């Protein structure tokens, strides 16, 4: 049976991005329409902006856009020294000051020093571990890179007067089946908890689908297979994904940073309908210099889904359209707590070797090594503040804050098995 032309399934924007990736057509400066969109209110002009994960594909795209928006100082942070140096060489020479910071966000003292040195007004947090298949067997690294790093950054931002933090997340955090998705979902929980507890900064989450051309994504894989003269591999004939171009993601994160939304919002850019991965592979092959390349079907890897979702059932009830975004506002259900008033230090958090954690009362420390029984006065759970379905709280008998500390302890110890087991307590759909 013949297949309908795959190109008809893709938007003009995605086709343009594929031509850039496959043939190099139109590569160069950021698109004028995207620049105009984020330049309208001048939110970045004269400001101090820090981008984490700046050496990666998404972080570098954000940095390129920002370099055209007149920031007073652009701080580029990554633990990949080559990525940072290469990015600096590619940035326009005109504009404000550009500073490089080689740092690992998993070390809270280092995060605090970077923020004290540069005093950013706005932080774009693009650093993350994102490879689903690899992280499925590296749970401790997934937790430290996605959960601990995010919590350290939020705490440092609260202590150093940062006004706005925008966090990049993924649709794989919705009802996760993979370790990567689960770690990103827990990172969302941590962000939403901070938005409730801390008077500043204002925090927003940008949840995206697959980013065309980003490192580790499917299109570069297809291109490497074609260049090597190999067959292009697709893992299921019916697999679909939401796709967005790198430029559109970069523009969306900057737009969200300036959008007047309450702290604790999750925003999803309008991405249309999901796209068949098989048809995407056909377009890539057709655009390549080897259109005769064969496409074969293999199998889904552990943790991979046939189809992704952008929202949970609970989130859909709080979703509304806001310009080019679908925005999930902070939970307003009866019984949900309002953000805590300012207190000494910064809310109910205090520093530990893991970064910042909620202060447990009484025998809280002993709980971290005990069987999981809660303290006399249980910390508030995420049943009223999670980014995932509220019913997940009932899947574990441990109070949320105790569970989180056990997870971070296992990650600190490099215990992949323990991290996976603890994630499985909260996420029944997690695949082994």
Quote the CA–CA distance of 346 and 67 in Å, as a whole number. Answer: 32
The residue written with tokens 């949970």 in the block is 312
Contact, 157 vs 148, CB < 8 A? no
Cis-peptide into 201, omega within 30 deg: yes
33: left (phi over 0), alpha (psi -120 to 50) or beta: alpha
Listed in sequence order, the residues at least 6 apart from 330 whose beta carbon sits closer than 8 Å to its beta carbon are 192, 195, 196, 262, 263, 264, 265, 336, 385
H/E stretch holding 328: strand 325-328
Residue 206: strand pairing partners: 168, 267
Taking a C-beta distance cutoff of 8 angstroms, is the pair 376, 328 a contact?
A: no
Active site residues: 172
d(CA 333, CA 320) in angstroms, rounded, equals 16
Q: Rounded distance, CA 424 to CA 182, Å? A: 9
Helix, coil or strand: residue 279: helix
How many CB atoms are closer than 10 A to CB 367?
Answer: 20
């Amino acid at each position: 049976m013949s297949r309908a032309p795959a190109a008809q399934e893709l938007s003009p924007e995605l086709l343009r991005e594929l031509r850039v990736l496959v043939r190099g057509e139109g590569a160069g400066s950021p698109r004028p329409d995207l620049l105009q969109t984020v330049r309208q209110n001048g939110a970045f002009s004269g400001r101090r902006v820090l981008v984490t994960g700046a050496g990666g594909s998404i972080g570098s795209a954000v940095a390129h856009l920002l370099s055209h928006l007149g920031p007073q100082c652009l701080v580029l942070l990554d633990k990949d020294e080559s990525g940072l140096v290469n990015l600096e060489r590619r940035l326009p020479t005109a504009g404000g000051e550009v500073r490089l910071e080689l740092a690992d966000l998993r070390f809270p003292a280092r995060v605090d020093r970077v923020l004290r040195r540069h005093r950013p007004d706005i932080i774009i947090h693009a650093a993350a571990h994102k490879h689903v298949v690899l992280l499925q067997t590296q749970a401790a690294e997934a937790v430290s890179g996605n959960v601990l790093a995010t919590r350290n950054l939020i705490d440092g931002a609260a202590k150093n007067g940062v006004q706005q933090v925008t966090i990049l997340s993924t649709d794989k955090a919705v009802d996760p089946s993979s370790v990567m998705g689960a770690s990103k979902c827990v990172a969302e929980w941590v962000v939403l908890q901070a938005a409730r507890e801390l008077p500043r900064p204002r925090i927003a989450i940008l949840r995206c689908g697959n980013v065309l051309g980003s490192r580790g994504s499917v299109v570069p894989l297809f291109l490497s297979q074609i260049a090597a003269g190999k067959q292009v591999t697709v893992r299921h004939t019916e697999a679909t994904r939401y796709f967005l171009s790198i430029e559109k993601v970069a523009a969306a994160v900057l737009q969200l940073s300036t959008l007047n939304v309450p702290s604790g919002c999750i925003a999803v850019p309008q991405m249309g309908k999901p796209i068949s991965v098989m048809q995407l592979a056909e377009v890539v092959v057709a655009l390549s210099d080897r259109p005769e390349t064969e496409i074969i079907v293999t199998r889904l890897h552990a943790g991979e889904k046939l189809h992704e979702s952008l929202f949970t059932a609970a989130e859909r009830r709080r979703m509304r359209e806001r310009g080019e975004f679908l925005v999930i506002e902070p939970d307003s259900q009866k019984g949900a707590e309002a953000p805590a008033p300012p207190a000494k230090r910064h809310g109910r958090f205090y520093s530990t070797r893991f970064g910042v954690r909620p202060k447990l009362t009484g025998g809280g420390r002993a709980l971290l090594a005990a069987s999981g029984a809660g303290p006399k006065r249980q910390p508030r759970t995420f049943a009223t503040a999670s980014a995932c379905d509220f019913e997940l709280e009932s899947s574990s008998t441990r109070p949320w804050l105790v569970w989180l500390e056990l997870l971070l302890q296992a990650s600190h110890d490099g215990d992949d098995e323990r991290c996976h087991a603890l994630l499985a307590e909260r996420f029944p759909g997690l695949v082994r």
